[in-house]
């Protein structure tokens, strides 16, 4: 089986396997039997991704599409793509298996499974694409599929699917959102970023020799130098806006919170290794080939772009962690923490501009950012899947649970304990080693570039992040109070889902000390400074576990739960400004255009011209002769005047 066949099966199997259930949407008895077929299609993609990992390392495959435009099907199995492909397919498969139990009996199964599989195929296309235009095709597939999945429960008839508290208002702002609104907000925000991203790709296509926009083959230094300092800043910032919106970085983060109106399987899929991680992953991949640590000195404006990405990422990380400290909705808390983690990925990847250390030919900062992405993917997917089981068991989207619930949901309790402790950076667990390397990256910026702020933001985020995941753990299994409703039927596929997912954290921990490039990364964990940070994280986790709520800070917690009123930007300020501009366009722009072309200027001009023509159409030869002679005289005078002019 050659690479072309593997790629064909990788991308098409999920989509083709979801077609039968989509076609059979009117036959309910058949619809209930077809979801395993959709899951089987994702399993095929998983097998294909493993084959690409094992058999085709560091290769590029090009298949003709629009060669005259420099646009072809160009796929890559470089270090980032082949590992990310397995992570994406594995997580999608485990969540799909979980979904067989979770979505059983849903009123919209054909819609769900078609968009779920389309989403998986689109993400895989983004991961393996080496051509920017082909990557953008997968990027748009993610957008449309996310709209279909987030707004899946479009009837808005069950309060348990909402985000926020019904009837709660702050001034003119209503702090409660429905699934249909969540889907609309997601695609409208993402599209806002897709437009400048597409224009940036078009600009790179114009500037690239022979219109080659294959990421690994583009002469990035030559292109950006040709663009100049201003051009480099504009083009790469426009590209970054697309990545920031997809990864819910400030100020585009609100869609991520209201996306929690979708099914929990959707939340787990979108907010672990796919969708939101797509922006961070593409940033890492582009950076991998731009190599700013080598070319920034010769490319004016490039360092400015990476400084922007560094600051946006780290401020987003701190903001997401702070807002999560006041949240009580299970999935919204996890969404805010996801935003925080993505910010750390952006910040660490951007720091590569000033990090010259390489391990096995790979930049140290990018390696740290990527493996934090992988660790976060499995841990956060685990927590989302446990949340789904908790919501099903307690019939509540708010954190509530006591020791009795923990004793009756042992698998969920254990999975949550492992996922939270392994993710926050407690020594010697998985994320500790990766985050220690992240600390080392920011320490380098302090020592060699005199940048104090990145290190401060990272440390503040790390401690706060530990607090929010501790609160998630304790408020759902320890000190959250007795659930008002408890329905604990046996759901083996759901339990398999989060237990299989959390087990991957042990695999990653093993890999950190087995793979050469990762052991070099993990060495940072043996430094005293890293151990000190790890102890601080552990203390914060223990304190928040035993004291998850502080009455004196309740008002601050409410402010954080309201996301520091950032929803005003999306739900109030932006619509007011938008409608004001629309009215200006309608009242002045449209009327002005209509008046110029249809009712005033152009019609008046033609009427005057018409009357003039009719005035000279008298029908007498003598009149026409006089007109012709007059024109000839004017022409002669013009020639004479022109002839004497210098």
- Give domain status of residue 153, yes or no: yes
Q: In angstroms, rounded to a whole number, what is the distance separating the alpha carbons of residues 464 and 476?
A: 19
Domain end (from 505, 533, 565)? 565
Q: Is there a single domain that holds both residue 252 and residue 322?
A: yes
Would you say 84 and 127 are in contact if contact means Cβ atoms under 8 Å apart? yes
Tokens of 613: 């023509």
pLDDT digits (tens, 9 = 90+) for 499-521: 999 999 999 999 999 999 999 88
What is the domain range of residue 504? 3-565
Would you say 366 and 352 are in contact if contact means Cβ atoms under 8 Å apart? yes
Question: Per-residue pLDDT averaged across 479-503, rounded?
Answer: 91
pLDDT digits (tens, 9 = 90+) for 574-618: 878 878 888 887 777 777 887 777 788 888 888 888 887 777 776
Q: In angstroms, rounded to a whole number, what is the distance separating the alpha carbons of residues 260 and 263?
A: 8
Query: What 8-state DSSP symbol labels residue 8?
Result: H
Could you tell me which residues come within 8 angstroms of residue 4 by beta carbon, excluding any fewer than 6 positions away? 61, 63
Q: In angstroms, rounded to a whole number, what is the distance separating the alpha carbons of residues 448 and 434?
A: 21
Q: Environment class of residue 487 by beta-carbon count within 10 Å: exposed (0-12), middle (13-18) or buried (19+)? A: exposed
- Give domain status of residue 570, yes or no: no
Least confident of 155-159, 200-204, 258-262, 623-627: 623-627
Torsional class of 395: left (φ above 0), alpha (ψ -120 to 50), beta (otherwise):
left
Q: Is the pLDDT of residue 645 over 60?
A: no
Q: Is there a single domain that holds both residue 536 and residue 630?
A: no
Backbone angles phi, psi at 250, to 5 degrees: -60, 140
- Alpha-carbon distance values, 160 to 95, 165, 262, 334, 510 (Å): 21, 10, 11, 17, 39
Provide, for the chain, the percentages of residues in helix, strand and coil under a 3-state DSSP scheme, each rounded to the nearest 5: 75, 5, 15
Helix (H, G, I), strand (E, B) or coil at 106: coil
Would you say 358 and 364 are in contact if contact means Cβ atoms under 8 Å apart? yes
Question: Per-residue pLDDT averaged across 149-167, rounded?
Answer: 91
Q: What is the pLDDT at residue 644?
A: 52
Q: Is there a single domain that holds both residue 461 and residue 553?
A: yes
Least confident of 195-204, 266-275, 524-533: 266-275
Residues paired with 142 in a beta bridge: none
Question: Per-residue pLDDT averaged across 2-20, rounded?
Answer: 96
Helix (H), strand (E) counts: the chain: 28, 8
Q: In angstroms, rounded to a whole number, what is the distance separating the alpha carbons of residues 351 and 293?
A: 9
Among 352, 353, 345, 334, smallest CA distance to 431 is for 345
Question: Per-residue pLDDT averaged across 301-328, rounded?
Answer: 96
- Give domain status of residue 467, yes or no: yes
pLDDT digits (tens, 9 = 90+) for 218-248: 999 999 999 999 999 999 999 999 999 999 9
pLDDT digits (tens, 9 = 90+) for 523-564: 999 999 999 999 999 999 999 999 998 877 788 989 999 999
- Give domain status of residue 573, yes or no: no
Q: Is there a single domain that holds both residue 247 and residue 351?
A: yes
Could you tell me which residues come within 8 angstroms of residue 551 by beta carbon, excluding any fewer than 6 positions away? none
Domain end (from 499, 530, 565)? 565
Q: What percent of the chain has pLDDT over 70?
A: 99
Q: Is there a single domain that holds both residue 159 and residue 259?
A: yes
pLDDT digits (tens, 9 = 90+) for 243-262: 999 999 999 999 999 999 99
Give the torsion sign (CA, 154, 159, 161, 165): positive
Q: Is there a single domain that holds both residue 514 and residue 621?
A: no
Residue with tokens 């082949």: 82
- Vertex 354 angle, CA 351 and 357, to 5°: 95
Could you tell me which residues come within 8 angstroms of residue 36 by beta carbon, excluding any fewer than 6 positions away? 100
Question: Per-residue pLDDT averaged across 352-357, rounded?
Answer: 95
Grade residue 96 by pLDDT with cuts at 50, 70 and 90. Answer: very high
Q: In angstroms, rounded to a whole number, what is the distance separating the alpha carbons of residues 372 and 289?
A: 20
Tokens of 38: 């959709």
Q: In angstroms, rounded to a whole number, what is the distance separating the alpha carbons of residues 628 and 611?
A: 19
For 49-102, the three-class secondary structure string (H helix, E strand, C coil) is: HHHHHHHCCCCEEEEEEEHHHCEEEEEECCHHHHHHHHHHHHHHHHHHHHHHHH
- Give domain status of residue 600, yes or no: no
Q: What is the pLDDT at residue 646?
A: 47
Residues paired with 214 in a beta bridge: 131
The Cβ of residue 387 has, within 10 Å, a number of other Cβ atoms equal to: 26
Q: Is there a single domain that holds both residue 434 and residue 550?
A: yes
Q: Is there a single domain that holds both residue 251 and residue 103?
A: yes
Could you tell me which residues come within 8 angstroms of residue 596 by beta carbon, excluding any fewer than 6 positions away? 602
Would you say 168 and 174 are in contact if contact means Cβ atoms under 8 Å apart? yes
Would you say 95 and 109 are in contact if contact means Cβ atoms under 8 Å apart? no
Q: Is there a single domain that holds both residue 145 and residue 64?
A: yes
Backbone angles phi, psi at 61, to 5 degrees: -130, 125
Q: In angstroms, rounded to a whole number, what is the distance separating the alpha carbons of residues 466 and 468?
A: 6
- Vertex 270 angle, CA 382 and 249, to 5°: 110
Q: Is there a single domain that holds both residue 314 and residue 256?
A: yes
Tokens of 87: 């992570």
- Give domain status of residue 586, yes or no: no
- Alpha-carbon distance values, 474 to 267, 479, 481, 545 (Å): 21, 6, 10, 5
Would you say 512 and 433 are in contact if contact means Cβ atoms under 8 Å apart? yes
Give the torsion sign (CA, 389, 391, 393, 394): positive
The pairing of strands 401-402 and 60-66 is unpaired
Residues paired with 177 in a beta bridge: 163
pLDDT digits (tens, 9 = 90+) for 277-287: 999 999 999 99
Helix (H, G, I), strand (E, B) or coil at 301: coil
Residues paired with 62 in a beta bridge: 74
Tokens of 215: 């990421």
Would you say 59 and 52 are in contact if contact means Cβ atoms under 8 Å apart? no
Q: Is there a single domain that holds both residue 362 and residue 508?
A: yes
Among 248, 18, 14, smallest CA distance to 123 is for 14
Helix (H, G, I), strand (E, B) or coil at 359: strand
Among 349, 367, 272, smallest CA distance to 313 is for 349
Could you tell me which residues come within 8 angstroms of residue 583 by beta carbon, excluding any fewer than 6 positions away? none
Would you say 12 and 4 are in contact if contact means Cβ atoms under 8 Å apart? no
- Give domain status of residue 453, yes or no: yes
Could you tell me which residues come within 8 angstroms of residue 503 by beta carbon, excluding any fewer than 6 positions away? none
Q: In angstroms, rounded to a whole number, what is the distance separating the alpha carbons of residues 192 and 586?
A: 21
Helix (H, G, I), strand (E, B) or coil at 600: coil
Question: Per-residue pLDDT averaged across 84-100, rounded?
Answer: 97
Number of domains present in the structure of the chain: 2
- Give domain status of residue 284, yes or no: yes
Would you say 91 and 501 are in contact if contact means Cβ atoms under 8 Å apart? yes
The Cβ of residue 380 has, within 10 Å, a number of other Cβ atoms equal to: 27
- Vertex 591 angle, CA 587 and 592, to 5°: 115
Torsional class of 589: left (φ above 0), alpha (ψ -120 to 50), beta (otherwise):
alpha
Q: Is the pLDDT of residue 165 over 60?
A: yes
Q: Is the pLDDT of residue 217 over 90?
A: yes
Domain end (from 565, 594, 627)? 565
Q: What is the pLDDT at residue 531?
A: 96
Straight-line distance from the first to the last Cα atom of the chain, in angstroms, rounded to the nearest whole number: 79
Q: Is there a single domain that holds both residue 253 and residue 396?
A: yes
């Amino acid at each position: 089986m050659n690479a072309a066949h593997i790629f064909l099966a990788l991308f098409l199997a999920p989509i083709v396997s979801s077609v039968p259930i989509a076609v059979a949407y009117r036959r309910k008895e058949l619809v209930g039997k077809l979801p395993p077929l959709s899951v089987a299609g994702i399993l095929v993609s998983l097998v294909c991704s493993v084959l690409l990992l094992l058999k085709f390392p560091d290769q590029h495959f090009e298949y003709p599409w629009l060669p005259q435009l420099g646009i072809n099907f160009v796929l890559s199995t470089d270090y980032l793509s082949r590992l990310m492909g397995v992570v994406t397919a594995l997580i999608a498969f485990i969540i799909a298996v979980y979904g067989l139990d979770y979505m059983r009996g849903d009123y919209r199964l054909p819609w769900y499974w078609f968009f779920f599989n389309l989403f998986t195929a689109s993400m895989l296309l983004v991961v393996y694409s080496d051509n920017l235009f082909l990557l953008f095709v997968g990027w748009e597939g993610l957008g449309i599929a996310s709209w279909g999945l987030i707004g899946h429960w479009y009837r808005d008839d069950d309060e348990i699917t909402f985000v926020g508290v019904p009837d709660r208002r702050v001034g003119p702002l209503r702090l409660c959102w429905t699934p249909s609104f969540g889907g609309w907000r997601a695609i409208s925000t993402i599209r806002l970023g897709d437009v400048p991203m597409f224009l940036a790709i078009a600009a790179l296509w114009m500037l690239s020799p022979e219109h080659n926009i294959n990421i690994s083959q583009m002469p990035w230094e030559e292109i950006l130098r040709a663009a100049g300092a201003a051009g480099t800043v504009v083009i790469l910032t426009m590209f970054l806006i697309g990545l920031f919106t997809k990864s819910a970085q400030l100020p585009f983060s609100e869609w991520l919170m209201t996306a929690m109106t979708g099914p929990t399987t959707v939340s787990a899929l979108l907010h672990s290794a796919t969708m939101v991680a797509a922006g961070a992953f593409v940033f890492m991949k582009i950076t991998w080939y731009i190599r700013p640590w080598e070319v920034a000195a010769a490319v004016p404006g490039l360092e400015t772009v990476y400084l922007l990405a560094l600051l946006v990422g780290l401020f987003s990380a701190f903001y997401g962690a702070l807002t999560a400290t006041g949240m009580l909705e299970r999935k919204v808390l996890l969404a805010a923490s996801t935003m925080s983690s993505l910010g750390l990925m952006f910040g660490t990847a951007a720091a590569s501009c000033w990090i010259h250390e390489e391990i096995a030919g790979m930049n140290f900062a990018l390696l740290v950012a990527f493996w934090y992405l992988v660790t976060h993917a499995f841990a956060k997917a685990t927590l989302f899947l446990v949340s789904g089981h908790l919501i099903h068991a307690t019939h509540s989207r708010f954190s509530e649970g006591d020791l009795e619930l923990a004793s009756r949901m042992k698998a969920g309790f254990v999975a949550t304990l492992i996922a939270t402790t392994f993710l926050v950076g407690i020594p010697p667990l998985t994320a500790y080693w990766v985050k220690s390397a992240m600390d080392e990256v920011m320490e380098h910026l302090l020592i060699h570039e005199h940048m104090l702020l990145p290190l401060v933001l990272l440390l503040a985020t790390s401690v706060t992040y530990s607090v929010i995941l501790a609160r998630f753990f304790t408020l759902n299994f320890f000190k959250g109070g007795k659930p008002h409703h408890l329905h604990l039927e046996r759901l083996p596929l759901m339990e398999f889902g989060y237990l299989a997912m959390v087990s991957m954290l042990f695999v990653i921990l093993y890999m950190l000390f087995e793979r050469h490039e990762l052991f070099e990364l993990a060495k940072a964990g043996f430094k005293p400074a890293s151990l000190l940070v790890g102890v601080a994280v552990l203390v914060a986790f223990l304190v928040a576990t035993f004291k998850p709520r502080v009455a004196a800070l309740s008002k601050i917690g409410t402010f954080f739960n309201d996301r520091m009123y950032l929803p005003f930007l999306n739900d109030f300020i932006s619509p007011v400004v938008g409608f004001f501009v629309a009215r200006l366009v309608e009242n002045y722009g449209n009327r002005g255009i209509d008046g110029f072309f249809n009712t005033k200027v152009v019609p008046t001009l033609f009427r005057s011209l018409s009357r003039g023509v009719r005035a000279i159409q008298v029908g007498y030869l003598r009149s026409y002769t006089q007109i012709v002679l007059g024109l000839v005289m004017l022409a002669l005078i013009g020639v004479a005047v022109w002839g004497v002019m210098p």
